[in-house]
């Protein structure tokens, strides 16, 4: 059963070693992420599952100890997923590497941790099914759900400007802040893809995991500093 969830964005710039001189720009966002993860620890889960958007090559499960690397972003920096005596050979994709870094900032040791790469194009029904399966895997499951909103808020955004982006992000912010699983499940796959919203599939996995539960949500932060929607929320 799902007992808690933390929702965080996953730009590699969250990692100060990657952001370098621009690191202070996201200090408040980092702090909010750590506050959200604190809610997970307080729930005393039996298992923590980190969900992150990937392409098809990065789909599937990653065990505790899997290594997240930021070499692809020009930084010789690695971080393991939780604590483990041995490091599995399979390397985490970028979104899950950010999740591993966030957990490393909290010294997470409250429960075993694993990660799951969720393809951005995964259909809604499959997302909901995957969420149900994930929540049923242990008596008390917590989720760290990674993903960004639209990437089309300004002309300098990765996806250029799209007038639909601000409304889409507002809809997502309301749903995350209110723990509204129906609203998350109703997010349109095509619209999210058009707006390059990487979090859509992971949020719908969360919606499936939360079915039959009664969570309170809090939106801890919302911003779009680079024309990309970032949200931090906690469900408990």
Find the CATH number of the domain harbouring 82: 3.40.830.10
Torsion of CA 45, 50, 51, 54, to 10 degrees: -170
* pLDDT, position 87: 64
* pLDDT, position 109: 81
Q: How many residues does the chain have?
A: 236
Find the largest Cα–Cα distance for the chain. Answer: 49
Q: Is 47 helix (H, G, I), strand (E, B) or coil?
A: strand
Structure tokens, 181: 């699983």
Per the structure, the complete domain to which residue 131 belongs is given by: 2-235
Q: Are 140 and 77 in contact (CB under 8 A)?
A: no
Tally of domains within the chain: 1
Q: How far apart are the C-alpha atoms of 124 and 53, rounded to whole Å?
A: 14
Q: Are 126 and 197 in contact (CB under 8 A)?
A: no
Q: How far apart are the C-alpha atoms of 131 and 2, rounded to whole Å?
A: 9
Q: Are 221 and 176 in contact (CB under 8 A)?
A: no
CA-wise closest residue to 37 among 131, 85, 101? 101
Q: How far apart are the C-alpha atoms of 15 and 18, rounded to whole Å?
A: 5
How far lies 217's CA from each of 69, 196, 214, in Å?
31, 25, 10
* pLDDT, position 199: 98
* pLDDT, position 23: 78
* pLDDT, position 20: 87
* pLDDT, position 107: 77
* pLDDT, position 19: 86
Q: Are 136 and 211 in contact (CB under 8 A)?
A: no
CA-wise closest residue to 149 among 159, 141, 140, 139? 159
* pLDDT, position 86: 63
Q: How far apart are the C-alpha atoms of 75 and 71, rounded to whole Å?
A: 5
Which region, left, alpha or beta, applies to residue 52 given φ > 0 means left and ψ of -120 to 50 means alpha?
beta
Which region, left, alpha or beta, applies to residue 154 given φ > 0 means left and ψ of -120 to 50 means alpha?
beta
Residues of the chain with pLDDT under 50: none
């Amino acid at each position: 059963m799902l007992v808690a969830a933390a929702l965080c964005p996953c730009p590699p710039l969250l990692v100060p070693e990657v952001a370098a001189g621009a690191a202070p720009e996201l200090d408040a966002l980092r702090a909010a992420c750590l506050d959200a993860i604190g809610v997970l620890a307080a729930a005393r889960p039996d298992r923590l599952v980190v969900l992150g958007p990937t392409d098809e090559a990065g789909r599937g499960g990653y065990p505790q100890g899997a290594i997240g690397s930021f070499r692809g972003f020009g930084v010789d920096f690695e971080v393991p997923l939780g604590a483990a005596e041995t490091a599995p050979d399979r390397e985490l994709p970028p979104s899950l590497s950010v999740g591993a870094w966030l957990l490393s900032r909290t010294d997470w040791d409250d429960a075993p941790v694993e990660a799951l790469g969720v393809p951005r194009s995964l259909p809604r029904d499959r997302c909901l099914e995957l969420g149900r399966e994930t929540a049923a895997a242990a008596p008390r499951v917590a989720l760290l759900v990674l993903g960004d909103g639209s990437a089309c808020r300004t002309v300098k955004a990765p996806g250029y400007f799209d007038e639909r982006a601000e409304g889409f992000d507002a809809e997502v912010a309301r749903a995350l802040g209110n723990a509204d699983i129906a609203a998350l499940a109703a997010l349109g796959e095509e619209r999210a893809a058009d707006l390059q919203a990487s979090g859509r599939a992971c949020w719908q996995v969360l919606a499936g995991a939360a079915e039959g539960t009664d969570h309170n949500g809090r939106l801890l932060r919302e911003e779009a500093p680079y024309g990309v929607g970032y949200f931090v929320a906690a469900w408990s």
